[in-house]
Amino acid sequence: MGNQTNNLLEKLASDFEALNARFRIVSAIHLEHCRERTEQLRSEKLIGERLYAEYLSFFQFRKPEVLPDSKSIIIIAIPQASSAIDVVFKGQHHRVIIPPTYLYKEIREACTRILSEALSRTGAGVARAYLPLKLLAVRSGLGKYGRNNICYVGGMGSFHRLEAFHTDYGFGIDDWQEMSMMGSCTGCSLCTEACPIGCIPAERMFVDAERCLTYLNENKENFPEWVNPRWHNALVGCMRCQVPCPENRDFVRDRDKTETFSEEETEVILKGVQAQDLPKEISDKLSRLSMDELYPFLARNLAALLRV
């Protein structure tokens, strides 16, 4: 490994350390494996066609057009706590949780800036990778799967955000390795017991995703009749299996209150006002929370949380 690569790696390590982030590098030759693995899960019905169409069809298992000579993929994990927002409804303040992974804008911008600044000195480029991030993190050794099919990263638990990028710089590094489940999952069934729907099987790492509360509250359809309103615990996503996990013992905490929605603003959201017709102040708050793209689901989800 030459001096240029050593200097580059030291620069990236220093810059990401400032975010308390960790990263690994895998060769772009593994794009085909990512595609094959995804297709295998589809053929084995572990990924349903509806789930694939809604969540995974945007994957691009090829080198990006802007970087046709991509050589490496950099996968990054950045610690991220849950976010608590204050929602005023009928004169009462309600603490509403947004789980980790959802607030992505500042993190993605920071990662893009760090990589672009460091790699531009070598003449190399950077492009976002539209790939299965959990798979990349686990195959790179950055993380391990939990029984709940969530990726856990050392020093972060499941409270983190993953990002990945292509680059045409040749690091000469390939951290690719076998997938593994956390050893602590052996003999532990806390996440299985905590899931109110029972979609976490004891015998494998793949959940019944189309019954998972996270999936149900991220699509536009009404909640199935069998969903108990008491199961809802977050504005999007679900924390039921993550909170009791022993691997998260040191990381289960919320950031300080990030935004407050007044009684009037709450009513606007609950009424399902179209995104383009929202007052700018509400739009700005949703954007800062990275909730603007998920806005079509928020009226239904918030109503469930507030028991409206």
CB of 277 closer than 8 Å to CB of 120: no
Per-residue model confidence (pLDDT) at position 244: 95
Is the pLDDT score of 256 beyond 70? no
Q: What are phi and psi of 100, to 5 degrees?
A: -60, 160
Q: Average pLDDT over the chain, rounded to whole?
A: 92
Per-residue model confidence (pLDDT) at position 255: 67
Per-residue model confidence (pLDDT) at position 3: 86
> Using one digit for the tens of pLDDT, what is the confidence trace for 183-194?
899 889 999 999
Query: Where exactly are the structural domains of the chain?
Result: 3-204+243-259
Pairing of strands 72-79, 22-27: antiparallel
Is the pLDDT score of 138 beyond 80? yes
Angle, alpha carbons 65-66-69 (nearest 5°): 80
Q: What are phi and psi of 282, to 5 degrees?
A: -70, -45
Q: What is the dihedral of CA 50, 55, 56, 57, to 10 degrees?
A: 70
> CA 216, CA 272: separation in Å to the nearest integer?
18
CB of 60 closer than 8 Å to CB of 130: yes
Task: Specify which residues 283 forms β-bridges with.
Answer: none
Percent of the chain residues topping a pLDDT of 70? 97
Angle between helices 3-17 and 105-120 (to 10 degrees): 160
Structure token digits, residue 47:
């990924």
Specify burial of residue 9 (Cβ count, 10 A radius: 0-12, 13-18, 19+).
Answer: middle
> Using one digit for the tens of pLDDT, what is the confidence trace for 203-240?
766 788 888 999 999 888 889 999 998 899 999 999 99
> Using one digit for the tens of pLDDT, what is the confidence trace for 73-99?
999 999 999 999 999 999 999 999 999
Per-residue model confidence (pLDDT) at position 107: 94
Per-residue model confidence (pLDDT) at position 299: 95
Per-residue model confidence (pLDDT) at position 114: 97
